Structure 1
Amino acid sequence: MEPVVPDVSAPTRISGSTRLYAVLGDPVEQVRAPSLLNPLFARLGIDAVLLPVHVEPVDFAGVFHGLTQTKNLDGILVTIPHKAAALRLADEVSPAAAAAGAVNALRREPDGRWRGENFDGIGFVRGLIEAGHLPAGKRIVLMGAGGAGSAIAAALLSAGAAQLTLCDPDVAKVHGLLARLEEHWPGRATGEAKPALDEADIVVNATPLGMRADDPHPFSLRALAPRCVVADVIMKPRETALLRSAAALGHPVLHGAHMLDHQLDLYRAFFRLDESARGCEPPHR
């Protein structure tokens, strides 16, 4: 009989001492964080589990406050569409999160306060660079100024993008993001209802369009210059209609999975998982 190999994709046991993490979103079926962090907990020998929590925007504040009162909850991840709301509810946030106007990770500090951080932007840029598409000196169009888009905008400018054009139907959201970006990178970001796609070196879809099979493309691929890079932040499906069409037209593409894959080490450090793996008892427990 062949030996039984334990499945490290999920905790082998949950007990009264198990530490909790939650990922909040609407929807949550597409989230990949549990499939990445739960195996990491298992590999590190940490008695913890990350669970998806489906919460609609109208209920987000109430659910968030309830979870933060849970004494064995150590961390919260936040996905669409709650990242901006999570920033407003955090006790303190990093400069990167403040510039983005959104957070996607929060941890409980030793004094009980909740600190927010945003890794979407740096995760996206690391994936872009690893794929050989350096943002430095490039003209980039970013579709979507929500939580993920805001973080990516800040990270692209920090990485040296020459010009960033933002496009979102929510004009107030664009203006707010531009004001935050202007404080750090004056004169390098603009907002346009109809961006000049034919002048872009890289175009990024940071909207929800593409999560459903019948979604329209967020922009016209026919308007792009040859060899313009087309990137998507959507995790599921991996091969969005936008990316399939772009690849068929000869454009280099970047899948949304890269953004999260490059955040795993950042989460590991942010949540101090190596300390837990060494048996260090966090002061707040």
Structure 2
Amino acid sequence: MDHYTVIGHPVEHSRSPAMHRRFAELAGQHIKYDRTLAPLDAFVATLEAHIAAGLKGANVTVPFKEAAFAWAHRLTDRARQAGAVNTLALQPDGSWLGDNTDGVGLVTDLKRLGAPLGGARILVIGAGGATRGILGPLLAEGPSALVLCNRTLAKAQTLAELFGIEAQAMDALAGQHFDLILNASAASLTGELPAVPAGLFAGASLAYDLVYKPGGTAFERWALDNGCKASSDGLGMLVAQGAESFRLWRGVLPNWQQVLAEMKEGL
């Protein structure tokens, strides 16, 4: 069977093996998918050892996405925009294509939820690597405004300039209205809340946290308590971006919404 893996450090927490095996079952594909723990100083050596043993593709997780970006022979436009690679795919000519499926995974899940995109006012909280991977696909949907905020304004401004969008200080957002509010900061990993005004959520259609946790995140609950109409965590983004990786490797898009439903039941 064709071999695929997810490479990271740490990687034992990754849900990708179970997810991709289920994708394969539903799509009638026969693959092997496992986890690979790479030493922090040996990503390339670990990857190339697997390639020598017949690897056909890989998902790349923290902290190796930038290393994968530098290693790939060719890059998709969205990988170049993101400055990071989370999917590597062996090509017929023997070269390796680097892609970033995070942004398309997010947009796909937002559409599943009926979130406003075209013509909407969108706020993205956080200016780290996760944000860089989603800004291009969000802009492609034609929002009327895409605003970036971050605890450190200078970092938000640097990233905003790359994409031609607006950056604002968190405390300058008071009194503004957004249709869609995305939390791409690391705050939810520790149960903290971003330092944006709570009044931002009043009347917003959706608050979306890129982090996923059983029972939802503190950000989701905070948004709903302050007048947001709906909220979601990032499990759908995880599954949708994984399905896009699977499509790149196998040429077929699996039934990711069924897998998402099954994963929710198992949380």
Q: Same fold (TM over 0.5)?
A: yes
* Letter of the structure 2 residue corresponding to residue 239 of structure 1: G
Change (3 A) 1:203 1:141: same
The answer to whether the aligner puts 1:231 opposite 2:213 as a matched pair is: no
TM normalised by structure 1 equals 0.75
2:235 maps to which residue? 257
* Letter of the structure 1 residue corresponding to residue 221 of structure 2: R
2:255 maps to which residue? none
Following the alignment from structure 1 to structure 2, what is the Cα–Cα distance between the partners of residues 93 and 238?
37
Matching of residues 29-178 of structure 1 within 5 Å? 29-55=12-38, 57-67=40-50, 69-168=51-150, 174=156, 177-178=159-160
1:211 maps to which residue? 189
Q: Contact 1:198–1:224 at 8 Å: present in 2 too? A: yes
Return 53-62 or 125-134, whichever deviates more.
Answer: 53-62
Change (3 A) 1:126 1:43: closer
- Report the secondary structure of 2:97's partner residue: strand
* Letter of the structure 2 residue corresponding to residue 257 of structure 1: L
Following the alignment from structure 1 to structure 2, what is the Cα–Cα distance between the partners of residues 114 and 258?
27
Structure 2 unaligned spans of 5+: 253-267
Q: Contact 1:122–1:152 at 8 Å: present in 2 too? A: yes
Q: What CA deviation, in whole Å up to 9, does each residue of 1:121-150 have, x standing for no partner?
A: 111112112212121222222123333311
Return 168-177 or 234-243, whichever deviates more.
Answer: 168-177
- Report the secondary structure of 2:147's partner residue: strand
1:269 maps to which residue? 247
Q: Contact 1:83–1:147 at 8 Å: present in 2 too? A: no
- Report the secondary structure of 1:137's partner residue: coil
Change (3 A) 1:235 1:27: farther
Q: Contact 2:126–2:185 at 8 Å: present in 1 too? A: yes
Structure 1 unaligned spans of 5+: 1-17, 183-188, 275-285
* 1:120 CA drift (Å): 1.1
- Report the secondary structure of 1:38's partner residue: helix
Q: What CA deviation, in whole Å up to 9, does each residue of 1:166-189 have, x standing for no partner?
A: 23457776455434423xxxxxx1
Q: What CA deviation, in whole Å up to 9, does each residue of 1:105-134 have, x standing for no partner?
A: 110112221101111111111211221212
* Letter of the structure 1 residue corresponding to residue 186 of structure 2: P
Q: CA RMSD in A?
A: 2.8
Larger Rg: 1
Following the alignment from structure 2 to structure 1, what is the Cα–Cα distance between the partners of residues 197 and 11?
29
Q: Contact 1:80–1:147 at 8 Å: present in 2 too? A: no
TM normalised by structure 2 equals 0.79
Q: What is the percentage of aligned positions where both structures have the same residue? A: 30
2:166 maps to which residue? 190
